[in-house]
Structure 1
Amino acid sequence: MKQKKKFYKRWWFWVIVAVAVVLMAVIPQMGNSDSGSSATTASSAKPSAQKVAKGSSTKKESKSSSTSDKTIDFDNAKHKVLASATYPVQWSDASWVGTQVKVDKALLIKVPPFKDDGDGKTYQGIVVMHFSITAARDISIYPSQGTLITSDGQQATADSFDSDNFDGDIAKGVTKDGYVAWELPRMDDPKSIKTLRVKFDANYDTDDMDDDNSSKTYDFTVNL
Structure 2
Amino acid sequence: MAKKFTDKDGNTFVEVKPWYKKWWIWVIAVVIVIFAIGAFSSGSNDSSFTSPKTHKATTSKTKNTNDSNTVSTGKKLSLSEDSFTINKEADYNPNYSDNSWAQTKVNISKVRVIKINTKKYYDGDKTYPVQGIIMVHFKVTPARDIDFYPTQGTLVANGQQVDADSGNSDDFDGEISKGATQTGNVVFILKKMTDVNTIKSIRLKWDADYDTDNYDDDNSSKTYDITMNLNN
Give the TM-score taking structure 1 as reference length.
0.69
Q: 1:206 to 1:77 in 2, by over 3 A?
A: closer
Alignment of 1:122-201 (within 5 A): 122-150=129-157, 152-201=158-207
Q: Shift of residue 75 of structure 1?
A: 7.0
1:143 partner SS: strand
Are 2:99 and 1:94 equivalent residues in the alignment?
A: yes
Q: Tell me, in whole angstroms, the C-alpha distance in 2 between the residues paired with 1:99 and 1:77.
A: 32
Q: Distance in 2 between matches of 1:171 and 1:79?
A: 34
Amino acid at match of 1:110: K
> After superposition, what is the alpha-carbon deviation per residue over 1:64-115, rounded to whole angstroms, capped at 9, x for unaligned?
1221x21112473432211111111111110001000110000011112222
- How many residues get paired? 163
Runs (4 or more) in structure 1 with deviation over 4 Å come to: none
The alpha-carbon distance between structure 1 residues 71 and 172, as it changes in their structure 2 partners (threshold 3 A), is same
Which residue identity does 1:166 align to in structure 2? F
- For structure 2, list consecutive stretches of 5 or more residues without a partner in the other structure: 1-60, 62-66
On the 8 A contact 1:62/1:87 being kept in 2, the answer is: no
After TM superposition, the structure 1 stretch with the greater mean CA deviation from structure 2, 123-132 or 112-121, is: 112-121
- Alpha-carbon offset, residue 210 of structure 1: 1.2
Counterpart position of 1:114: 119
Give the aligned partner of residue 66 of structure 1: 72
Is residue 158–residue 183 contact of structure 1 (8 Å, CA) maintained in 2? yes
TM-score where L is the length of structure 2: 0.67
Deviation at 1:62, TM superposition (A): 5.5
Q: CA RMSD in A?
A: 1.6
| Contact 1:159/1:181, CA 8 A, preserved across alignment | yes
Cα deviations across residues 172-215 of structure 1 (Å, max 9, x unaligned)?
11111100000001111111110011000000011111111100
Q: How do residues 74-89 of structure 1 correspond to structure 2 at under 5 angstroms?
A: 74=79, 76-89=81-94
- 1:121 maps to a residue whose letter is Y
**Aligned partners of 1:184, 1:196: CA distance in 2, in Å?**
12
Letter in 2 for 1:134: T
Name the CA shift for 1:75/1:100 in 2 (closer, same or farther; >3 Å).
closer
Contact 1:62 1:88 in 2 (8 A): no
What SS does structure 2 have at the residue aligned with 1:144?
strand
- In structure 2, how many angstroms separate the alpha carbons of the residues matched to 1:75 and 1:187? 22
State the identity %: 47
Instruction: Mark the CA change 1:104 to 1:223 in structure 2 (over 3 Å): closer, same or farther.
Output: same
Given that 1:62 and 1:86 are in contact with CA atoms closer than 8 Å, whether structure 2 keeps it comes out as: no
2:225 to 215, 219, 223: 219
Q: Distance in 1 between matches of 2:129 and 2:103?
A: 40
1:164–1:178 contact (8 Å) kept in structure 2: yes
Conservation of the 8 A alpha-carbon contact between 2:82 and 2:168: no
